Structure 1
Amino acid sequence: METNPRRHSERLVASGLWWGMVVLTAVIVAWLLLVATSPSVAATVGLATLVVLGAGLWHWGSLRVVAEPGRFRAGDAHLEAPHLGTVEALDPAAWRAALDRAGTDRAFLLTRPWIDRGVRVAVADPDDPTPYWLVSTRRPATVERVVGHTGAAPDERTTDGQEAREEDD
Structure 2
Amino acid sequence: MTPFAETYLGRLRALVGSQLILMPGAQVVLLDAGSHVLMQRRADSGQWEFPSGSAERGQSFADIAITELAEEAGVLVREDELEPFACLSDPKVTHLRYSNGDQVQAFALCFVVRVAQRPPAWGADGEAAEHTWWPLAGLPTSLDRTAGATAAHLRAYLRSGSFQVG
TM-score range, shorter chain: under 0.3
- Say which structure is richer in helix: 1
Q: Looking at both structures, which has the greater relative contact order when contacts are Cα pairs under 8 Å and sequence separation is at least 6?
A: 2
Using structure 1 for the length normalisation, give the TM-score: 0.26
Q: Which has the larger radius of gyration?
A: 1
Q: TM-score, normalised by structure 2?
A: 0.26
